[in-house]
A and B are shown apart, each in its own frame.
Chain A
Amino acid sequence: TQLLKQSPQFLSIQEGENLTVYCNSSSVFSSLQWYRQEPGEGPVLLVTVVTGGEVKKLKRLTFQFGDARKDSSLHITAAQTGDTGLYLCAGGTAGNNRKLIWGLGTSLAVNP
């Protein structure tokens, strides 16, 4: 069974702080997607990484895919209250009949 573990499960920080959340697995994924979900809404795709070691930046957010494509991290610089939400990672399986394996998410609260 392929599992994705996200850590920490909950994170509460002050505005302006930096943070990193992690998405780890013992399985290899063909791609890794990060989503953010706000209360009352569905998840929204932030980024997809597909190459081992790949780093993608989205303004203050930096995403990295591990060299072995088993793990990923999301680093937020100078967090803002608008970053509050549930951050979900989803790993794409390889081969035929591909599907997404979802982590349980990291719930981030950025306090003013």
Chain B
Amino acid sequence: DSGVTQTPKHLITATGQRVTLRCSPRSGDLSVYWYQQSLDQGLQFLIHYYNGEERAKGNILERFSAQQFPDLHSELNLSSLELGDSALYFCASSVGTGLYSNQPQHFGDGTRLSIL
């Protein structure tokens, strides 16, 4: 058990819809990272938050947004969903900012999103 909790585990929805994925980081971790994993693209970094502030952006689409709340949990919002958004979405957390060292990341078990 990594200590990172993601909900829901599975989500099935239709094209054009909007969903919210939730992540609670490991106790004491201030950084939250979001990733998308698909068979052909592998693990793609989306965005990183540290203590409520956005730190880095990766390959995140404009239709996607995220935020980290004062209690450090984070939400990833996906809107105008397309078939190609079907994937596993992982949240990971680490202790520090990750800006000055590459700290190990602790992953949740992911949310499997299926777009019909």
Partner of B48, one of A31, A33, A93, A99: A99
Contact A44 B107 (CB under 8 A): yes
How many inter-chain residue pairs (CB < 8 Å) link A and B?
58
Interface of A is mostly: loop
Q: Is the CB of B104 within 8 A of A48?
A: yes
Question: Within A74-112, which residues are at the interface with B (CB < 8 Å)?
Answer: 88, 92-93, 96-100, 102-105
Main SS class of interface, B: loop
Q: When the two chains form their complex, are residues B2 and A98 in contact, meaning their CB atoms are under 8 A apart? A: no
Q: Are A97 and B99 in contact (CB under 8 A)?
A: yes
Query: Is there an interface contact between B102 and A42, defined as CB atoms closer than 8 Å?
Result: no
Name the A residues within 8 Å of B105 (CB-CB).
45, 100
How far is the CB of B92 from the nearest CB of chain A, in Å?
Answer: 7
CB-CB < 8 A to A98: which residues of B? 98-102
| Docked-complex contact B42 and A104, CB < 8 angstroms | yes
Of the A-B pairs whose beta carbons lie under 8 Å apart in the complex, a sample of 5, sorted by A's number, is: A41-B110, A42-B92, A48-B104, A93-B102, A102-B42
